[in-house]
Amino acid sequence: MYDVLIVGAGSAGAAIAARVSENPHWRVGLLEAGPDYPLLADTPDDLINSHNNSYRDHDWGFEYEPTAVRRDRFPRGRVTGGSSAVNTTIALRGMPEDYDEWRALGCEGWGWEDVLPAFKRLERDLDFPDAEYHGDAGPITIRRYPHDELLPPHQAFLASADQLDYPYCADANDPASWGAGPHPMNKLGRLRISAAVGYLAPARIRPNFDVIADAEVSRLLWEGRRCTGVETYAGDTYQARLVVLAAGALMSPCILLRSGVGDPDEVAGLGVDTVAACRGVGKNLSDHPALAVLCDVKHPVDFDTPIIQTILRYTAPGSDKRNDLQIEQISFAGRPGGPPQFVIAPVLEYQYGRGRLSLPSAAQGAAPRVENLFCEDERDCERLAGCVQDTLRFTEVGPLAEMIEAVRFPDAGRGVSLDDLKGLCRKFAGSGYHPCGTARMGARDDDAVVDPAGRVYDVEQLVVADASIMPFVPRANTNLTCFMIGEMVGERIRTNPQEYGL
Whole-number CA gyration radius for the chain: 22
Res 177 pLDDT > 80: yes
Q: What is the pLDDT of residue 445?
A: 82
* Average predicted confidence (pLDDT) for the chain: 97
What is d(CA 238, CA 200) in angstroms, rounded to the nearest whole number?
20
H or E, element range at 91: none
CATH 3.30.410.40 region(s) of the chain? 146-182+289-350+375-428
Classified as helix, coil or strand, 373 is coil
Q: What is the pLDDT of residue 29?
A: 98
For 419, counting Cβ atoms within 10 Å of its Cβ (0-12 exposed, 13-18 middle, 19+ buried), the class is exposed
* Amino acid letter for position 391: T
Q: What is the pLDDT of residue 138?
A: 98
Q: What is the pLDDT of residue 481?
A: 98
Res 446 pLDDT > 90: no
Q: What is the pLDDT of residue 295?
A: 98
CATH 3.50.50.60 region(s) of the chain? 2-66+77-103+189-285+434-500
CA distances from 242 to 164, 254, 421 (A): 54, 19, 49
- Where residue 355 falls among pLDDT bands split at 50, 70, 90? very high
According to the CATH classification, is domain 146-182+289-350+375-428 in 3.40.50.2300? no
Residues 397-417 have a mean pLDDT of: 95
Length of the chain in terms of residues written:
502
CATH architecture, range 2-66+77-103+189-285+434-500: 3-Layer(bba) Sandwich (3.50)
CB 324 within 8 A of CB 350: yes
